[in-house]
Structure 1
């Protein structure tokens, strides 16, 4: 079992395929949502002017990623379910 996993991992590395490609879309969405909320929290707690600029750009970037994944999920027919 361990050898099979190592073979798969080495193939992924050789082909430069991002591991997140194999992460389920629902997990990617949840991670992106968490990153966006974290960026907002960082912005609310930073005081240095340069860091405020960085935090604002970071919020925009994480929001774009999250909205992209939401659109992709809708396109693929992924729906939220209270039973998951």
Structure 2
């Protein structure tokens, strides 16, 4: 594999991990919003938003697994949980 390909692959890996971290934060924010709302219209919005954020997170995890980003992903998730 050429050096350029290795760099591109590493950048792609870093971008996926970055997106996963962002997706995690988005899920947490959506969960907090869901817990705070009480008006029926907002509850529906909160549920929809939370499910959309979770779906994106699951998709990114699937992509990471397909690309073999398991170890780095695990380390990143542990770091995110520790913070």
Q: Given the two structures, how large is their TM-score scaled by the length of structure 1?
A: 0.67
Tell me which structure has the larger Cα radius of gyration: 1
Matches of residues 53-64 of structure 1 in structure 2 within 5 Å? 53-64=44-55
Q: Extract unaligned runs of 5+ from structure 1.
A: 1-20
In structure 2, what is the equivalent of residue 71 of structure 1? 62
In structure 2, what is the equivalent of residue 40 of structure 1? 31
Larger helix share, 1 or 2: 2
Shift in Å, 1:70:
0.3
- Higher RCO (C-alpha 8 Å, min separation 6): 2
SS in structure 1 of the partner of residue 46 of structure 2: helix
Deviations, residues 11-51 of structure 1 (Å, cap 9, x unaligned): xxxxxxxxxx8x71000000001101110110000111100
Q: Extract unaligned runs of 5+ from structure 2.
A: 1-11
User: Which of 19, 23, 31 matches 2:22?
Assistant: 31
Work out the number of aligned pairs and report it.
62
Q: What is the Cα-based RMSD across aligned positions, in Å?
A: 2.0
